[in-house]
Structures are given as structure tokens and as C-alpha cells.
């Protein structure tokens, strides 16, 4: 049994065990189709001492290199979100040319470029050499390092303390969470603020987003857990914003503990909401686990019945979370013939575990399956909008989460037909 990465207490048994699965981003080339893949236990536990939900088995980071392929600027949604974030932070903290912004895991400079345009000083820290190079090419000063205790001296000495430290979708990936947050505190100027954005545990639970659990995501945060983590590392959580991106995210604001910012009404309300919803009790997580089991059963039953009626089913998309879903439900090519994805990097490969082949989106029109299961359900609306031709051919979409449902073929794609 492992210890809590937050408070070091012994962890209780996992509340949800998703079995032994391959890494969600380890897409398989057809030449390796006959070879077995490495599999790792995928299970999550709740620490009753500090409320931190976390994986019980952690895969060494060097075995998870997939993120290195990810260039933030390739996604319009991410870039638009970044631009709005920069405007919002600039206003909230009255930032100007005398201020310094540090971004952790700054990728190709997709976010810092907008601060730079406003004349604000920026520094990126990015561990992937090829991506850091792209940022430097765009004149975004970038340190090619992993952020942590070992980079504090260099950041403070060479660039000076930061007035704002930003980390978007990094916190959940960090196993040494206390060392990381202490380093954040050490890099902040006395009146400085840190802003972290991550998927919100309450949304995950409320909408049964269990498929967002995979090996790269070490922790799943409630605000109750963040508050305790912050305090342990010389920081104070004082404000929060709730955003719809990635199925529900929060952006939290931290200051130095010595700074003693008052807790915002929004944060007080969300903390109370977590308490009322049971997020600080083990029972909540046992209930969630039961719901996930039911979801999987319903989905497999639905697909099996359609197959028994002679219907053909494809997938849409090949996101990492789709692999958690398919592997946990043990769905293979017997139920889903193939999937399609717009990314040329994924086309021609097989999904890890399920070994479902990935084709270009045109395959939906050429092979004419009766149904397509939307694996990136968080952008279902966008996908349905792009695939009118498939619908015109009589095709129908299925969303698996929060409840398996066949989308109504009518023009109003937001309505779903519940399935028994």
C-alpha cells in the first residue's frame, strides 16, 4: 500500500480500480500489433487526512514522454482560452511593464506571447527541449528545465522573483507536489500571486468523467485538498474561478501565507459546496465508483444490443481519455470497428489496449457505420456540427459520458435520447 503524496499518511484501499491498462497516450504502430504492451495498475484512492484523491501506482515520468508531442498552439480552443486568461489576469492584478510573469510548462509560448504583447516581462520554464526551442524562436525567453527546487536559484538569480506564476494543467501531473509548491512560494515576490488551472474533481464526480483518470494524472484536486496543500507549503488559497474547459476546470489563486489575502466569497461558497456534496468523506467516492460500474455496464449493453441487431459501430476521436473508457469497459473491435481522428499523427495507428484502428475522418463517410461513439465527449457539440454529412447519410452519434446516450438526429444536438 502506498503513502499519500500530500501528507504521507498511509492510503486506504482504492475506491476505484480501473484494472491494469497500457499508458493512455501510447498509440500502437501496426507492426507492433502482435506484441503485448506494458500495462500498469490504474486505481485511485482518497486520503481522509488531507482529502487528496490520487493514483495508488505511479509510473516513472520518463516512461510517459507523450506530452512532448503536444504543441499548445495547435489547438484553437487552447489559444483562445489563453488569450482570455491573459486579459483577465492583467486586469485582476493590474499588471504592467514593471511586472514579471513566470509560466511553468510554458509549452511553445502560446500563453506568454499575449503578456509580451502587453509589454509585461515574461519567462517560460519548459522541460521538452524541442518545444522550448520553438518558444525561444518566437522570442519568448524560456528555460529548458523541469520546474522544481533545483530551478529556484536560477530563476531568482538570473530573472528575479515573479509577480505572477502560472501553471495550466501541470499540478495534476506532479508527483512531488510539496516540493513543487514550496518552489513556487520561493519564486514569488512578496506580494506575488500564483494561478493554477486544473480539472475540477467535483465536475469529474458530478459528470462521471472517470475516463479522465489515466497514469499521467497523478492527482485529482478538490479545493479542500488544495487549501491544505497550499498551507503546508507556505502558501494560501484565497480565490477561485470555475471554467467549462476540459469538462470543468478551476483556476485557483494563491499568495504567500505571510501575505494573508482575505478568502473570496466565491472560494468560501465552493468550499462549503464541497463539504455539502460530501467531497471530504470517503462515502462519496464509493458512490462514484458504483456509478462508474453502472455506466460501463449500460454502455457495453447498448453497443452489444446494436451489434446483435446487425448495426455497425465506429468511434469518433482518439483522445487519451477514450483509452481509459474502452479498456475499462473491455470494448474492442468486436463492438467498435474503427475510430477516426483529425490528427495525422494518430491516423494509421491502433488505440492502446483495445487495438481499435484509427483512420482519417473521411472513413466515416466511406465505410458508413450506423453509429459513431464520440470519445472526446467534452467537444461533442463541435464534432456533431462538423459531421453533418455523416448524419445526412443516416449515421447517429453516441455519447458515453455522463450517461451513455444516442444523440437525437434532430437539428437540436443538445437534446439526447435516453437509452434504457
Residue numbers of the site for Zn ion (CB under 5 A)? 4, 6-7, 9, 47, 49-50, 52
Q: How far is the CB of 176 from Zn ion (least distance, A)?
A: 14
Q: Cell 437509452 belongs to which residue?
A: 419
How far is residue 55's CA from residue 216's CA, in Å, rounded to a whole number? 9
How far is residue 247's CA from residue 220's CA, in Å, rounded to a whole number? 13
Q: Which of 48, 409 has the CB closer to Zn ion?
A: 48
Which residues are CB-neighbours of 141 under 8 A, at least 6 positions away?
122, 123, 124, 159
Q: How far is the CB of 3 from Zn ion (least distance, A)?
A: 8
Q: Which of 48, 402 has the CB closer to Zn ion?
A: 48
How far is residue 7's CA from residue 19's CA, in Å, rounded to a whole number? 26
Q: Which of 9, 268 has the CB closer to Zn ion?
A: 9
Q: Which of 50, 314 has the CB closer to Zn ion?
A: 50
Q: How far is the CB of 19 from Zn ion (least distance, A)?
A: 24
**Element at 239 (helix H, strand E):** strand 235-243
Q: Which of 228, 375 has the CB closer to Zn ion?
A: 228
- Helical residues (DSSP H) of 278-334, grouped into ranges: 282-308, 320-329
- 143 alpha carbon, distance to own chain's centre: 24
The alpha carbons of the chain give a radius of gyration, in whole angstroms, of 22
Is the Cα dihedral 80, 86, 89, 94 positive or negative? Answer: negative
The answer to whether the beta carbons of residues 153 and 147 sit under 8 Å apart is no
The answer to whether the beta carbons of residues 34 and 304 sit under 8 Å apart is no
Q: Which of 237, 399 has the CB closer to Zn ion?
A: 237
Q: Which of 10, 69 has the CB closer to Zn ion?
A: 10
Q: Which of 52, 364 has the CB closer to Zn ion?
A: 52
Which residues are CB-neighbours of 269 under 8 A, at least 6 positions away?
none
How far is residue 146's CA from residue 143's CA, in Å, rounded to a whole number? 9
Question: How large is the angle between the packed helices 282-308 and 320-329, nearest 10 degrees?
Answer: 80
C-alpha cell at 298: 449500460
Q: How far is the CB of 49 from Zn ion (least distance, A)?
A: 4
Q: Which of 39, 284 has the CB closer to Zn ion?
A: 284
Q: How far is the CB of 8 from Zn ion (least distance, A)?
A: 7
Q: How far is the CB of 226 from Zn ion (least distance, A)?
A: 13
Q: How far is the CB of 211 from Zn ion (least distance, A)?
A: 25
Q: How far is the CB of 7 from Zn ion (least distance, A)?
A: 3
Q: How far is the CB of 133 from Zn ion (least distance, A)?
A: 38
- Helical residues (DSSP H) of 93-122, grouped into ranges: 112-117
Short-list 271, 312, 261, 305, CA closest to 404 = 305
Amino acid at each position: 500500500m502506498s503513502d499519500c503524496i500530500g501528507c504521507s499518511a498511509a492510503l486506504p484501499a482504492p475506491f476505484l480500480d480501473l484494472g491494469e491498462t497500457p499508458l493512455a497516450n501510447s498509440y500502437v504502430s501496426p507492426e507492433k500489433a502482435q506484441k503485448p504492451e506494458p500495462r500498469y495498475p490504474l486505481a485511485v484512492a482518497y486520503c481522509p487526512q488531507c482529502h487528496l484523491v490520487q493514483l495508488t501506482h505511479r509510473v516513472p515520468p520518463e516512461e510517459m514522454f507523450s506530452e512532448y508531442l503536444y504543441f499548445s498552439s495547435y489547438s484553437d480552443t487552447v489559444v483562445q482560452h489563453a488569450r482570455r486568461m491573459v486579459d483577465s489576469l492583467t486586469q485582476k492584478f493590474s499588471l504592467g511593464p514593471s511586472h514579471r510573469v513566470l509560466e511553468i510548462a510554458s509549452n511553445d509560448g502560446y500563453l506568454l506571447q499575449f503578456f509580451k504583447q502587453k509589454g509585461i516581462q515574461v519567462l517560460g520554464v519548459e522541460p521538452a527541449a524541442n518545444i522550448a526551442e520553438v518558444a525561444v524562436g518566437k522570442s519568448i525567453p524560456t528555460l529548458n528545465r523541469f520546474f522544481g527546487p533545483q530551478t529556484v536559484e536560477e530563476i531568482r538569480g538570473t530573472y528575479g522573483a515573479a509577480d505572477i506564476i502560472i501553471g495550466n494543467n501541470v499540478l495534476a501531473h506532479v508527483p512531488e507536489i510539496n516540493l513543487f509548491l514550496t518552489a513556487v512560494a520561493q519564486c514569488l515576490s512578496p506580494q506575488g500571486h500564483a494561478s493554477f488551472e486544473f480539472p475540477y474533481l467535483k465536475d469529474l464526480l458530478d459528470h462521471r468523467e472517470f475516463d479522465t483518470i489515466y497514469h499521467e494524472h497523478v492527482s485529482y484536486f478538490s479545493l479542500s485538498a488544495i487549501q491544505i496543500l497550499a498551507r503546508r507549503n507556505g502558501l494560501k488559497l484565497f480565490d477561485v474561478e470555475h471554467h467549462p474547459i476540459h469538462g470543468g476546470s478551476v483556476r485557483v489563486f494563491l499568495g504567500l501565507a505571510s501575505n494573508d489575502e482575505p478568502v473570496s466569497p466565491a472560494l468560501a461558497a465552493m468550499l462549503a459546496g464541497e463539504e455539502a456534496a460530501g467531497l471530504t468523506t470517503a462515502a462519496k467516492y464509493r458512490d462514484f465508483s458504483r456509478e462508474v460500474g453502472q455506466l460501463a455496464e449500460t454502455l457495453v449493453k447498448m453497443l452489444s444490443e446494436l451489434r446483435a441487431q446487425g448495426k455497425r459501430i465506429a468511434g469518433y476521436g482518439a483522445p487519451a481519455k477514450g483509452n481509459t473508457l474502452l479498456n475499462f469497459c473491455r470494448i474492442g473491435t468486436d463492438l467498435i470497428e474503427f475510430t477516426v481522428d483529425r490528427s495525422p499523427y494518430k491516423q494509421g495507428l491502433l488505440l492502446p489496449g483495445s487495438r481499435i484502428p484509427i483512420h482519417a475522418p473521411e472513413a466515416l463517410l466511406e465505410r458508413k457505420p450506423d453509429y459513431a461513439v464520440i470519445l472526446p465527449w467534452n467537444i461533442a457539440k463541435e464534432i456533431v456540427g462538423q459531421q453533418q454529412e455523416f448524419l445526412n447519410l443516416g449515421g447517429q452519434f453516441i455519447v458515453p459520458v455522463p450517461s451513455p446516450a444516442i444523440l437525437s438526429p434532430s437539428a437540436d444536438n443538445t437534446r439526447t435520447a435516453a437509452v434504457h
